[in-house]
Chain A
Amino acid sequence: MSDVSFVRTEMLPEQAPPASEVGLIGWIRHNLFSGWFNSILTLVSLYAIYYVLSGVLPWVFQSVWNANSLNECREIMMATWGSTHGHACWAVINDRWLQLLFGFYPSHLYWRPIAALLLLLVALAPVLYSDRLPTKMLIFSAIYPFLMVWLMWGGTIWGPIAAALGFVVGWGVYTLVSKQLSGLFGLIAGVAASVIWWLVLSSYFVGALDSILPIGIEAVQSRQFGGFMLAILLGVVAIGVSLPIGIVLALGRQSDLMIVKYLCVGFIEFIRGVPLITLLFVASLLLNLFLPPGTNFDIILRVMIMMTLFSAAYMAEVIRGGLAALPRGQYEGADSLGLNYWQAQRLIIMPQALKISIPGIVSTFIGIFKDTTLVSIIGLFDVIGLASAIRADTAWNGIYWELFAFIAALFFVVCFSMSRYSMYLERKLQTGHH
C-alpha cells in the first residue's frame, strides 16, 4: 500500500499567460500582425500614415500667421525656412476669418447672429431633452422663429410681432368658428383670417404702432448676409420650416384619399428627382416670374423658399419611414379608443413616429447644411463664394489650400458633431425596444 505514486492534493497556482498573448504585445499580435496578409496591410497603412502626416504636419505647423498679403507671406517663408513650398500661409485666415464667418454683415452688429445662434440652442433644448426640461420652455421655442428674424434682419420690432399675431388671429377665429359650426369650417375660416391679416391688415398695424412706439434695431439688408452664417441660417430655416410641411406631406402620402395622395407623391418625387442646383436656378431666375407682376423680394428669401421645399420632400420620406416603422397595433389601438384621425395622429402616432425618425431628420439636416454651399453657384457669397472673392483680391491672389482647409474644417466640425449626436440618439432610442 505504501508504493502509491504521488498524488497532488492541492491545485497548482495559475501561471501568468505568456507575454506575447497579453498586454500591449498581445494586442498588437492579435490586431495588427495576426497573419502575413494582415502584417502587410499594417505595414502599408503605417507607410501611408507616415507619408500623409509628413506632408501635412509641417505644412500646418511651420506656417506664417501674420502677413498682409501672399507675397509678404512668401517673403517670410523664404527668410525663415528657405523655401515657399510646404508651408501654409494662415495669415489669410487670420486676416479674413470674420468675413468667412459673417460675410458682409456689419461688423458692429456681429453680436446679433451670435445671439440668434445661442438662443437657437436654448429654443432647441426643450425639444431635444423633453424628458429633463420643463414643458413651459416650449413657449420660447414658439417665439424663437420671430425673434430670430428680427435679430438677423433688424428693423422695427412690430413686423415680427404682426407676423406672429397672424397665427394668434387664425387660432382665435378657428376656435370661435369651430365651436359654432364645425372643425372644417373653423379651419378654413382660421386660415382665411390669417391670410387676410398678413396681406391686408398687418401693414396698417405695423405702420400705426411704428409711428406711436418706434422700437427697433438697425436694419440689415439680405445681400449683406454671407459666409458660414448664411449656411447656418439657410440650413436652420429650411429644416425648421420643412418639418411641419414634411409631416403633412408624409401623412398625405400615407392617406387613403387618392387625389391628396397622388398630389403629395407627385410633389415628393418631382423634388427628389431633380438636383438642388436646378431648384436654385428656379429661385434665382423663375420664382419672380411665377408671382404676380411687380412682386420682387430678395434672393435670400427666394433661396430659402426653394431650399425649404427641397428639404420638405426629403423630410417627408424620412417621416414616412418613421410612420411605416410603427406597428399596425398602434393605429388600431388609437381607433379602438375612439380617437379621430387628428387626435390619433397628435397623441399616439406622431410622437412615436417622430422619435423614430430623429436620426433620419438629423442626417437630412446634415445633407441640407452641406448643400447650402451650392448657393455660391447662383452668386451668393457663402463660404465658397467668399473664398473665390478673397482669391480675386490682389493681396491674396493664388491662395488655395489654406482657404479650403479652413472651410472644410468648419463644415467637418459641425457635421461630424451632429452625426455623432444622432448616433448617440439612435443608441439611446434603441435601448427602449430591447
Chain B
Amino acid sequence: MTTLTDPPKEQFRLSMLLYDTRYRSATIQVIALIGFMLLAAWIISNTIQNLEALGKPVEFGFFGESASYDINQRLLEYTSQDSHLRAAFIGLLNTLVVAVLGCITATIVGVLVGVLRLSNNWLVARIMTVYVEMFRNVPVLLWIVLAMAILIEGLPAPNAFRGDNPTATMDLFNSVAVTNRGVYIPEFLFSRSLGDIHLFGTSSLRFDISLDLVAFLVVLGGSIFTMRKVSAWAADKQESTGDRPKIWHIQLGILFVPMIILMAVLGLHLGYPELKGFNFRGGTHMRNSLIALWLALSLYTAAFIAEIVRAGILAISKGQTEAASALGLRPGRTMRLVILPQALRVIIPPMISNYLNLTKNSSLAIAVGYMDITGTLGGITMNQTGRELECVLLLMLVYLCISLSISAVMNWYNNSVKLVER
C-alpha cells in the first residue's frame, strides 16, 4: 500500500527571487519601482541644486502680483492691474472658448464633408476628397498662420466703411462688420435686465453670471422637459389606441412661446456695431486672432472628422440598409434608427481623440497672439516673472486636467451608446 506524502517543503532561498516565476515578477516590479524612484529623486535633486544656483526657489507667490499686461479678447472683465492668477484664469476661459467653438464647427463641417464624400455625385465627392487631403497633409500651424494672414491682408480696414461711397459694406442687414481688425457682431442687450450674480467676491477667480442667461437656460430646460413629457404622453396614447395624436404644433408652441414671452419681459434687443471715429463701437468684437485660430483649427480637424464619419458609415454593412427597407422603413427612419446608432459606435471613440487634439492644438494660439492659457501663463506671465518651472508645470497640469475631463465625459457617453454584449 502506498501512502501519499506531501512534496518536501522547499526552503526559501534568495536565488528563488530570480528563478522562481512565483517570485520573479515581484522582483522585477520592485526593481522597476526602485529605478523609477531613483530617477525621480535624481531629477528633483538636480532641479533643486540648479534652482539654488540660480537663486530661484520654487514658490507661487508671483501669482498674487499685478500682471500689468492687457488681454484684449476676454469673456470676463480684466484690467492690467489684476493679478497673474486672474490673467491665467482669463486665458483658461479663452482656451475653452476656442476649443468649444472649434469642436462644434469641426463636427458640423466634418460630418457634412464626410457624408458628401460618399455622395453619388462624382464631382462633389472629388472636391471633398481634395479638401480632406489638402487640410490633412499640411501642418496645422501653417493653416493658423495662413488664416491670420488672410484676415489681415484680405479684409477691408474699418475706414473703408466710411464716407458716402464706401468700398466695403456691412453684411447681414447692416449688422455684421467684417474688418481686418476683427469681426463685429451684434450683441444681446436687455432693457429690463435682471442683473448679475457676483461669485467669489473680489478674488482672482471672481466670476459674473448673468441672471438673464440663467433665466433663458431655465426656461429652455423647462420647455424641453415638457416636450419630452408630451411626446411620452403621445407614445402612451399610440400604444393604447393605435393612433398617434398630432403633437408637432404643441411641441413648437412649448419650445418658443415661453422663450418669446421671456424676451419681451426682459426687453431683449440687439446692440449693433457702429463706425465711430477710426473704429467700430458697440456689438461684440471678435478679434482676428480668435477667428483665425477658430477657422484654422475647425477646418483642419474637420478633415480628420470627415474621414472618421466616412469610415463609420462604410463600416455598416449594406445588408442593414436592405433589411431595414425590407421591413418597410422609410430612408429617413433607416438612417435614424438603423444606420446611425451603429455607425455612432464606430465614430465616437476616434471623434473623442480628435476633440482632444483640437483642444491641445489650440495651444498654438501663441503663434497668432490669441491670449489663451499658453499665451498668458506660458507666455507673458512666464517671461515677466522668470518662473519657468512653475509656469510650465502648471500649464501642463491644466492641459492634463482638460484632456482627462474631456475623455472622461466622452467615455461616459461612449459607454451609454455602446453595444451591450453578454
Contact = CB atoms under 8 A, between A and B. Distances in A.
Contacts of B53: 293
A274 B400 CA distance: 6
State the majority secondary structure of interface residues on B.
helix
Given A42-B124, A292-B46, A278 B29 contact: no
Interface string B32-67: 110010000001001101110100000000000000
Interface in B129-182: 133-134, 136-142, 145-146, 149, 153
Nearest to B403: A273
Contacts of B18: 182, 184-185
A291 B137 contact: no
Interface residues of A, number: 56
29 contacts: A31-B120, A31-B122, A32-B122, A32-B123, A34-B120, A41-B121, A42-B121, A42-B123, A42-B124, A45-B127, A182-B18, A274-B400, A275-B360, A275-B374, A277-B363, A277-B364, A277-B366, A278-B378, A281-B392, A289-B388, A366-B137, A370-B139, A373-B142, A374-B364, A377-B366, A411-B142, A412-B138, A415-B136, A419-B137
Contacts of A114: none
A292 B42 CA distance: 9
Closest A-B pairs by Cβ, 3 of them = A415-B137, A31-B122, A273-B403
Interface in A246-283: 256-260, 263, 269-270, 272-278, 281-282
Interface of A: 31-32, 34, 38, 41-42, 45-46, 48-49, 182, 184-185, 256-260, 263, 269-270, 272-278, 281-282, 285-286, 288-293, 366, 370-371, 373-374, 376-377, 384, 400-401, 404, 407-408, 411-412, 415-416, 419
Contacts of A366: 137
Contacts of B392: 278, 281-282, 285-286
B395 interface: yes
Contact of A259 (B32, B50, B145, B389): B32
B19 A182 contact: yes
State the majority secondary structure of interface residues on A.
helix
A259 B47 contact: no
Interface residues of B, number: 53
A373 B32 CA distance: 36
Nearest to A295: B46
B105 interface: no
Contacts of A256: 25
A257 B25 contact: yes
A404 B141 contact: no
Nearest to A38: B121
A288 B36 contact: no
Given A260-B29, A281-B378, A274 B140 contact: no
B119 interface: yes
Nearest to B152: A400
A286 B389 contact: yes
Contacts of A282: 392, 396
B123 A419 contact: no
B334 interface: no
B141 A412 contact: no
B399 interface: yes
B32 A275 contact: no
Contact of A286 (B32, B374, B388): B388
A423 B32 CA distance: 39
B28 interface: yes
B141 A411 contact: no
A59 to B, nearest CB: 13
B290 to A, nearest CB: 18
Contact of A293 (B19, B49, B145, B153): B49
Given A277-B364, A278-B392, A290-B43, A263 B32 contact: yes
Given A275-B363, A412-B138, A290 B29 contact: no
Contacts of B314: none
B363 A257 contact: no
Contacts of A258: 29
B404 interface: yes
A429 B121 CA distance: 31
Given A41-B121, A373-B142, 4 more contacts: A32-B123, A259-B30, A260-B28, A384-B142
Nearest to A284: B388
Contacts of A288: 50
Nearest to B56: A289
Given A273-B403, A282-B392, A257 B364 contact: no
Contacts of A275: 360-361, 363, 374, 399
Interface in B381-395: 388-389, 392, 395
Given A257-B25, A373-B141, A384-B141, A290 B399 contact: no
B252 interface: no
Please indicate which of the listed interface residues A42, A273, A292, A376 has the most CB atoms of chain B within 10 Å of its own CB. Answer: A273
